[in-house]
Chain A
Amino acid sequence: MNIFRFLGDMSHILSFLLLLHKIVGGKSAAGISLRTAEMYAIVFCTRYIDLLWNFASLYNYLLKLLFIGASLTIVYFMRYGPSQKATYNADEDAFPVQYLIAPCAVLGVLINQDHSSPFEMVWAFSIYLEAVAILPQLFLLQKQGEVENLTSHYVFALGAYRALYLLNWMFRFMTEPDYQQRIVWLSGLVQTALYCDFFYHYYQSKKGGLNKSVKLP
């Protein structure tokens, strides 16, 4: 465990807390993409299926349960919560996710770390899917032009988590002799690159004060 990975996990937890606060606490799903929320639920349920047999550490175990639980809770409230449904904008949240899920599934089968193990294929699929899962959310924000304050912090924390993981992989690559994981490297790079535009507008709007809403062109 290194500081980058720890901060990355904390940032990921923060993004969940912000989103849960908005959706469950604030009873509002305005500006939030259900498609992204559902893809994240798929990412965690597929990647953390090794909960059943791989007990790397208590820390990992608890966080995996937390991420699966939080992502499913968010999807549940966005789908069945009365006030959340009322504020969720289904026709704007229209990114064709089948064009994201299908290629990731094919890639997961073709490019993974051990072709003899189905879990490795599922794990690779979840890594690829996570890299593009934010697209419907960014697409929705782009369409709405203005990003509500809490939503902007949620997206920022989510972007920061994978950026910190990139530093973690760099650090592990330098300090651990045989450490190399090309799959997560490339996917993490793509994932973080997708946030660059948002980060720029987030920084521009927040430098005048944390409570300004983010404007996207």
Chain B
Amino acid sequence: ISKGKPKDEL
């Protein structure tokens, strides 16, 4: 599971 990527979706 990808590390906490910046949330760019709503």
Contacts and interface: CB of A to CB of B under 8 A. Distances in A.
A182 B6 contact: no
A120 B4 contact: yes
Contacts of B1: 111-113, 182-183
B10 A64 contact: yes
Nearest to A172: B9
B2 to A, nearest CB: 6
Contacts of B6: 54, 56
B2 A50 contact: no
Interface in A65-93: 67
Interface residues of B, number: 10
Contact of B8 (A60, A111, A180, A182): A60
Contacts of A63: 10
Interface of B: 1-10
27 contacts: A12-B10, A50-B7, A54-B6, A56-B6, A56-B7, A57-B8, A63-B10, A64-B10, A67-B10, A111-B1, A113-B1, A113-B2, A113-B3, A113-B4, A114-B4, A117-B4, A119-B4, A120-B4, A123-B7, A168-B9, A178-B2, A180-B2, A181-B2, A181-B5, A182-B1, A183-B1, A184-B9
Given A5-B9, A54-B7, A184-B9, 17 more contacts: A9-B10, A12-B10, A50-B7, A56-B6, A57-B8, A60-B9, A67-B10, A113-B1, A113-B5, A114-B3, A120-B4, A123-B7, A168-B9, A178-B2, A180-B2, A181-B2, A181-B5
